Structure 1
Amino acid sequence: MSLWPPFLCKWKLGQKETMGSSSQLPKQDYETLQKKCLRVGCLFEDTSFPATLSSIGRGPLLQKLPTGLQWKRPWELHSSPQFYPAKAKRLDLCQGLVGDCWLLAALQALTLHQDILSRVVPLNQSFTEKYAGIFQFWFWRFGKWIPVVIDDRLPVNEAGQLVFVSSTYKNLFWGALLEKAYAKLSGSYEDLQRGQVSDALLDFTGGVTVTIKLAEAPGNLWEILTRATFSRTLIGCQTYLGERVLENGLVDGHAYTLIGIRKVTCKHGPEYLVKLRNPWGKVEWKGDWSDSSSTWELLSPKEKIVLLKKDDDGEFWMTFQDFKVHFKLLVICRLTPGLLSQQVGQKWSYTSQEGRWGKGTTAGGPRKSPHDTFWKNPQFLLSVWKPQEGRMFLMPCSVLVSLLQKPRHRHRNRKPHLAIGFYLFRMSKLYDDQRRLPREFFLENEPLSLPEAFLTEKEVSRELWLEPGTYLIVPCTSETHQEAEFVLRVFSRKHIFYEIGSNSCVVFPKEIVDQTEGQDEFFTKLFEKYPEINAVQLQKILNHMTWSNLGNAQPIFSRDACQGILALLDLNESGTVCIQEFRDLWKQLMLYQDVFHKQDSNRSGCLNWAQLRAAMRGAGIVLSDNICQLMLVRYGGPNFQMDFVSFVLLMLRVEKMEDVFQNLTQDGKGIYLQKAEWLMMTLYS
C-alpha cells in the first residue's frame, strides 16, 4: 500500500548522524532509515541536507531563484509520480537554473549504458512500493562506490514547477533527485555551477577519462571515435568559452553529449557525421546536416528516413569537420582501458594506491634542479610483466596510469584543483624498496616520461608503452608545499604496483625471505634450486609461503591442486613451469590473496556466493549470477563455501578460458572449435 498521501506526519532524522572522514558525508544507512520511517508512518527529512537555502548555496545562484520558492515532494506536484520510466530510450531531462550542463551531458552518456546507469541510480525505487520519502544514489569516489541518501523534497516556484533539473515528462523525477544527491555530495546546488564533463563521468563510472583538445587532435580521431562508440565508453564534448547562443545554434561555454557517429554515402562521396545532444533539450545546430538543412537531400531516401528526426529535442547531426572546428574538447571515459591502443579483446588488471602530499614532508613539488625537493614526493614501484600466453610480443606493454586528486574542501568549488602530474623513471638496478629512493637517484637518472604541462584537473591520465621491467612513478604538484590527497591507478595486462616505504609490498616464502633483498633475487635463488618446478616442488613452495593477509586461515595446497595449477600454466606440456611462468603465477596469487582477504569479512577462511562474486569482480572478472552460482557448486565445498585454494583454482581456470576464447574468436562474440580444441577446453574445466 502507498504511504505518501498528505495526511502522513513528517519526521526529521539525522540529528545524531556522524560525519564520514573522507567524503565528509553523514553516515546514513538507507535501509535502516527507510524501515524506521515505514514503521512509524512518517516521511524522511534529511537534516544533513535540509530543504532550506543553505542547501542551495550562498553565491550568485541565490539571485536567480524565483520569489516564493518552496520545497515539495513529487506526489505533491503530480497525481501519479514515477521514479524512472520502464522503457527509457533517451535522456528525458532538461537543465534548470543551475549551470550544470556538464552534469547533464554526462548523464546523457550514462543512459546509453543501462547497466552502468542502474549502478548509479537503483531503479527499484519508487513512489509506491515501500515509499518513505527517502532515496539513495551511488557515486564512485576515489576507488570506492559510496551511497548518498536524500529526501525527495525539491525546490519549486509558486506555480509548482521544478527550478532545477526537470523531465520533459512531468511525472518523472529520477533526474531531479539524482541532481539533488550529487549536489549533496558536492556541498550544495551552488557547487554544481561550474564543472567538467570528465568530473561527472568519473564519478558515475570509476573509468579513466581522456581529454582530447580538438585543435590538436590525432589524425586517427575518427577511428578512435569509431572504437569508442562500439565499446564501453561514455563521450562528452565542450565548446569554446563564452556565455551566448551563437547564430549557428551552438552555445558557447557549453557541454554536449556525443551520442553517435555515422559514415554516409552522398552523391559526391562519403561524409562523416557525428550526432550530439544539448542537455537543455532544445537549441540545436543550424548548419549543414541540421534538422532543416538541405544537405539531407544528398542521401538516399532510406538513409534519410533512418537518420533525420525533425524535433526540437536538442539532438542534431553535424559533419565531423564542423565538429572539430566549433568544439574545443572531446572527453572519452574509458571503461575498457585498451580503447586508444587498439588492443581488441585484451584482459586488463587494475591496481589502486592512495597517497598524500604533505607540507614539509611529501609535498616535494616538480623536478626543477639537482638541489630541489622532488625526491621527497611519494614514490611508487611498478613492475610490468609480459602476458603469460605463449606468444611472441614484439611491441612493448601498454600501461595506463591515472592520477586523481581528492577535493580539498567539503564544497567542491571552494578550493580549486591543484595543478598535478607524474613522472616515470626506469629502474636499472635493485634498491631497498622499504625506503624512498634518495636524491642521488634523480641526479643520475632522467625520466622516461614527464608532464607536458601540469593540469588543474581532477584526473590526469596517460597511456605509456613500456618494456617489461621495473619502473618508478612519482606523482607531484606544480609547486612545493601544496597539500592534497590523491589516488594513483595503474591498468595493464600484467603488473605489480605498490608504494615504496609502505607495508603493501609482496610477501616471500619463509625459507627464502631472510636471504633475499628483492623480488628478482628471490626468483634467482629459487630457480637455482629448482630450474623447473614440478607439482611436488610447487606444493612445497606454496605451503611454505607466508600468506600475510589470510591470518590464521593459512591455506594447504594438495598435490591434486598443484597438478591442476601446473596443467593451466604449463605451456609446453612438460609437467613443469619455468621461471617466467612462475613469475606470472606469483603475481596472480598476490592479487587473489588480496581480493579474497577483502571479501572474507568474518575471517572464516571461506567465501559465500555474494563474497565470491565480489572477489571475482575485484580481480577484474565479471560473470553472471547464474555462472557464479554454478562455480560455487563446482569448486566449493558441500556447504557452498569456497576456501582459498579452491578460489585460486577457479580464478586460474576462468582467466585461462578467457585467454583461450580471445585467442580463438574472430569477432569477440563466438568461436568455432575443432574436436581437439573442444577436448582441450573441456579438460581444462
Structure 2
Amino acid sequence: MSSRPWKKAPAHPPVFDSGTDTIREDCGATARPAMSLCPPLRGRWKLGWKDSMQGSLHPPQQNYEALLDRCLRNHCLFEDSSFPATQSSIGSGALLQKLPRRLRWRRPPELHSNPQFYSTETKRLDLCQGVVGDCWFLAALQALTLHQDIMNRVVPLDQSFTENYAGIFRFWFWHFGKWLSVVIDDRLPVNETGQLVFVSSTYKNLFWGALLEKAYAKLCGSYEDLQFGQVSEALVDFTGGVTMTINLSEAPGNLWHTLTQATYSRTLIGCQTHLGKEGVLKNGLVDGHAYTLTGIRKVTCTYGPEYLVKLRNPWGKVEWRGDWSDSSSTWELLSPKEKILLLRKDNDGEFWMTLRDFKAHFALLVICKLTPGLLSADMGQKWMYTTWEGRWQKGSTAGGRMESPRDTFWKNPQFLLSIWRPEEGRRSRSPCKVLVSLLQKPRHRRRNQKPRLAIGFFLFRMSKFYEDQRKLPPEFFWRNAPLSGPEVFLTEREVTRELWLEPGTYLLVPCTSEAHKEAEFLLRLFSRKHTLRELGSSSSVVFSKYPEINAVELWKILNHMTWPGLANAWPIFSLDSCQRILALLDLDVSGTLSVQEFRGLWKRLLCHQMSSKP
C-alpha cells in the first residue's frame, strides 16, 4: 500500500538519537521530577514460541505486571531492550530513506504538556498515517474504533501518563489462534521539531494510536515490516474473526443488502483501490490504497433513491472529488434537513460516494465477521468452531497440489470432517453452511522477510463412514474427484471459503501449490454442528466449540465429560455452581466465557482431579 506521496525522501541517512535520561517538558509547562531509566529486567521473560525451521516466530512474552511493578518501586521508566529505540526497530530497507535526518525517540510527556493515552470525548476517526506505508493497518484500526467493546480488548483503556505511569504500555493481538500481550515502552520516533514521524492523532496530545502502531510493529518484527499489506490481515489480528473478501468487479447483485447487514452487525469493514503508479488520481482517490468504510445511507433525491457509502482515507486528508464529495453540487438534490445531517465540509479524509462509483473505483471490499452467521438469514443461531494447528513438512506432509505427481498429494495432512444437521433443523433438506479458514503462519520472525506460500484446500465426499485412523492412500485420490478445490492458489495469509454441504462425512486436505514447501498452518472450521479429526494423527476427535459459553452451556459441557471415579455421581456440577464459576472467571462482565477462559478452567479442573486421586 502507498504512503504519503508528497513526502520527499532525503538524500542523506537519518541520525538516530535515543533521547535523554530525564523527562523534559518542551511545551513551557512546569517541569516534572526527573525519573531514571530502568535497566533491562533479565531472566524474567518467557521467550517466544520456537519454530524448528526458523527460530522464534513471536516477540518475547514479557510479564507486564512484573515490569510495571518493578519500575514503580524503583521510580524509573521502562526501556524495552527487545524492541529498542534504535535503527533495528525501524528496519533496514527503503523506509530509512523517508525518515528525517535527525530522528529522535521521545516519550509523550516530552512532547506535550498534557499527554493523554485515550479520550472518549474526541472524534473516533482521529488517526493520520505517517511515512510508513501501512494504510492497510490504519484502515483496519479505524474500523476498530467504531466498535468500542471490541477495541477495549485490543487497547486496554486503564493506561495513562499520570496514574501509575512508568513508560510501559500493553496491547493485545489475536495471533494465529492465541491472544498475545505485546509490551512496549513509550519512546516514539519524532523529527527535529518534535512531530511524530509515524502514526499521529489530529488531537496532538493523544498517543494511543502511535503506541498501538509501535506494538504492532514489534509483533511484525519492525516498522519496516508494516510496509505493504492487506487490510484483512490487521482486521483478523484485531478480532480473531473471519474475513470475507468481495471482488467488486464481480460483486453480487445483493451487495447493498450485504453492506446493510454488515454495517448494522458486529463487523469491521475495509476496502482497497486498484493498484497503479499514479499516486493520487485526479478524482482524489489514491492508487493501491486502503480505506475504511464507516457508514452507508440510502437517500431520496429529486430523481429517486440513491445509495451512498461513506469512506475515510487513513491519511486524514485527500478526499474523493466526484459526485457527493464535500464540494459536489449533487447535495442540492437532497432536502435541506438531510443535507445538514450528512454533509461535513472538513478536510479530514472522510467522504461520501455512490455505491455505483464505489464498485467502479475500488477493487476489494473486506468484511471481518466475528461470527459466520452475521451475514446470513440464520444470524441469530448458535455457531460452533474448531481450530487445528498443523504443518507441511518436507519429506513427510508437504505433498503439494493434486496436479503434482499423484503419489505425493496424499501425503498432505488429511482431516475427516463430519457434518450434522442441528437438532432443531433435522427435518430440513437444505444443505448446512460451513465456513473454512486456512491461515499460514509466517516462516520468519520478520513479517516481510520471506514471501508467503501459495495455499489452498481440497474437499472430498466420503461415500461411507470411515473408521480407520490411517491416512487415505494414493488410490483414493486417483478414483475420487474433489467436491471443491481452489480455482487459484493464493499467496495470502488466510484463505477462506464458504461451503454449503449435505450432512455427512468429508475429507479436507489443505496443501501448498508446490510440493516440499514447508510451513505451519492453522485450520479453522465454523458450522452449526460438526466434528473434526486428523487421519494418521494420534490426536483424538475434536468436537466443535462455542465461541462464547454461558452458564447453561458450561453446565452441559462439564456434566457430559467423563470424570474418573465419579461415573455414578451425575450431575457433578449444579447450574448454580456453574453460575458462580462464571461470575468468578468472567472478567469482562460479558456474561459468557471465551474459549481461552474455558481452557484455563478446564486445565485447573483436570489438575484438581489428578491431585485428588488417592
TM-score, scaled relative to structure 1: 0.76
Of 73, 93, 97, which residue of structure 2 is paired with 1:39?
A: 73
Q: Report the residue type matching 1:214 in the other structure.
A: L
Q: Which amino acid aligns with 2:510?
A: P
Q: 2:366 aligns with which of 317, 331, 355?
A: 331
1:38 aligned counterpart, secondary structure = helix
| Match in the other structure for 2:47 | 19
The aligned residue for residue 405 of structure 1 is 440
Q: Do structure 1's residue 242 and structure 2's residue 269 form an aligned pair?
A: no
Aligned with residue 10 of structure 1, among 37, 46, 57: 37
Q: Does structure 1 residue 388 correspond to structure 2 residue 427?
A: no
How far apart, CA to CA, are the structure 1 residues paired with 2:500 and 2:313? Answer: 37
Instruction: Measure the CA separation in 2 of the matches of 1:54 and 1:507.
Output: 42
- Displacement after TM superposition at 1:642 (Å): 9.6
* Aligned twin of 2:169: 135
- Aligned counterpart for 1:461 among listed residues 480, 489, 496: 496
Q: CA deviation at 1:222?
A: 1.1
**Which residue number in structure 2 is paired with residue 422 of structure 1?**
457
> 1:303 matched to which residue of 2?
338
Per the TM alignment, residue 444 of structure 1 is displaced from its structure 2 partner at its CA by 1.9
Q: In the alignment, does 2:608 pair up with 1:617? A: no
Matched residue SS, 2:48: coil
Instruction: Answer yes or no: is the 8 Å Cα contact 2:582–2:592 preserved in 1.
Output: no
Distance 1:299 1:29, change over 3 A: same
Q: How far did 1:187 drift?
A: 0.4
Aligned ranges 1:608-647 → 2 under 5 Å: 609-611=583-585, 616-618=592-594
In structure 1, the partner of 2:264 is: 230
The CA deviation at 1:394 is 2.9
8 Å CA contact 1:433, 1:501 repeated in 2: no
Structure with the bigger percentage of helix: 1
Name whichever of 91-100 and 431-440 sits farther off: 431-440
* Closer, same or farther: CA 175–507 of 1 in aligned 2, 3 Å: closer
- SS state at 2:373 partner: coil
Q: Structure 2 length normalisation: TM-score?
A: 0.84
Equivalences for residues 562-601 of structure 1 within 5 A: none
CA apart distance, 1:20: 1.0
**Which residues in structure 2 correspond to 1:72-87 (within 5 Å)?**
72-87=106-121
SS at match of 2:216: helix
Residues 288 and 390 of structure 1, relative CA distance in 2, 3 Å threshold: closer
Runs of 4+ in 1 over 6 A off after TM superposition: 559-562, 612-615, 641-644
Equivalent pair of 1:349/1:493 in contact (CA under 8 Å): yes
User: What amino acid is the match of 2:513?
Assistant: S
Structure 1 distance, partners of 2:489, 2:403, is 13
Find the residue that maps to 1:362 and give its secondary structure: coil
Cα deviation, residue 140, structure 1: 0.2
Deviation at 1:472, TM superposition (A): 1.1
Match of 1:657 in 2: none
Aligned to 1:535: none
Distance change in 2, residues 1:479/1:610 (3 Å): farther
Cα distance in 1, alignment partners of residues 175 and 73 from structure 2: 33
- In the alignment, the residues of structure 2 paired with residue 451 and residue 350 of structure 1 have an alpha-carbon distance, to the nearest angstrom, of 22
1:350–1:620 Cα contact (<8 Å) kept = no
Tell me if structure 2 keeps the 8 A contact 1:12–1:46: no
Q: Which deviations, in whole Å up to 9, do the C-alpha atoms of 1:176-210 show, x marking residues without a partner?
A: 00000000000000000111100100100010011
Q: Retained in 2: the 8 A contact 1:256–1:276?
A: yes
Alignment-mate amino acid for residue 358 of structure 2: F
Q: CA deviation at 1:88?
A: 4.2
Contact 2:585 2:597 survives alignment (8 Å): no
Check if 1:345 corresponds to 2:345: no
1:668 paired residue number = none
Q: Measured at CA, do residues 300 and 220 of structure 1 come closer, stay the same or move farther in structure 2, by a change above 3 Å?
A: same
The CA distance in 1 between the partners of 2:166 and 2:565, in whole Å, is 43
Q: Provide, for residues 619-647 of structure 1, a one-character-per-residue CA deviation record: whole Å limited to 9, x for no partner.
A: 6999xxxxxxxxx9xxxxxxxx9999xxx
- TM-superposed CA distance for 1:21, in Å, is 1.5
Paired AA for residue 384 in structure 1: I
Q: Which has the higher contact order (CA 8 A, sep 6+)?
A: 2
1:269 aligns with 2:304: yes
Deviation at 1:14, TM superposition (A): 4.3
- In structure 2, the gaps of 5 or more residues are 1-21, 24-31, 51-56, 544-557, 608-614
Deviations 1:549-589 (A, max 9, x none): x6x57554437999x9xxxxxxxxxxxxxxxxxxxxxxxxx
SS at match of 2:49: coil
1:558 aligns with 2:585: no
Given that 1:140 and 1:205 are in contact with CA atoms closer than 8 Å, whether structure 2 keeps it comes out as: yes
Distance 1:343 1:558, change over 3 A: closer
Shift of 1:87: 2.4
Deviations 1:102-139 (A, max 9, x none): 10000110001001111100011000111110000000
Letter paired with 1:32? A
Among candidates 181, 193, 214, match of residue 248 of structure 2: 214
Counterpart in 2 of 1:281?
A: 316
Instruction: Indicate how the Cα distance of structure 1 residues 467 and 390 shifts in structure 2: closer, same or farther if over 3 A, else same.
Output: closer
Deviation (angstroms), 1:172: 0.2
1:416 Cα offset (Å):
1.5
Following superposition, the deviation at residue 36 of structure 1 comes to 0.3
**By how many angstroms is 1:86 displaced?**
2.5
Q: Secondary structure at the match of 2:150?
A: helix
Q: Distance in 2 between matches of 1:180 and 1:288?
A: 37
Percent identity of paired positions between Structure 1 and Structure 2: 70
3-state SS of paired residue (1:389): helix
Q: 1:293 aligns with which of 319, 324, 328?
A: 328
Contact map agreement 2:533 2:542 (CA 8 A) in 1: no
Match of 2:511 in 1: 476
Whichever residue aligns with residue 465 of structure 1, its letter is W
> What's the secondary structure of 2:137's corresponding residue?
helix
Residues 392-439 of structure 1: per-residue CA shift (max 9 Å, x gap) = 323111000000010111110011211100011111123344211111
SS of the equivalent of 1:227 reads helix
For the pair 1:356 / 2:391, whether they are aligned, the reply is: yes
Measured at CA, do residues 464 and 148 of structure 1 come closer, stay the same or move farther in structure 2, by a change above 3 Å?
same
Match of 1:586 in 2: none
| SS of the residue 2:344 aligns to | coil
Equivalent pairs, count = 548
Letter in 2 for 1:617: L
| Aligned pairs for 1:154-165 within 5 A | 154-165=188-199
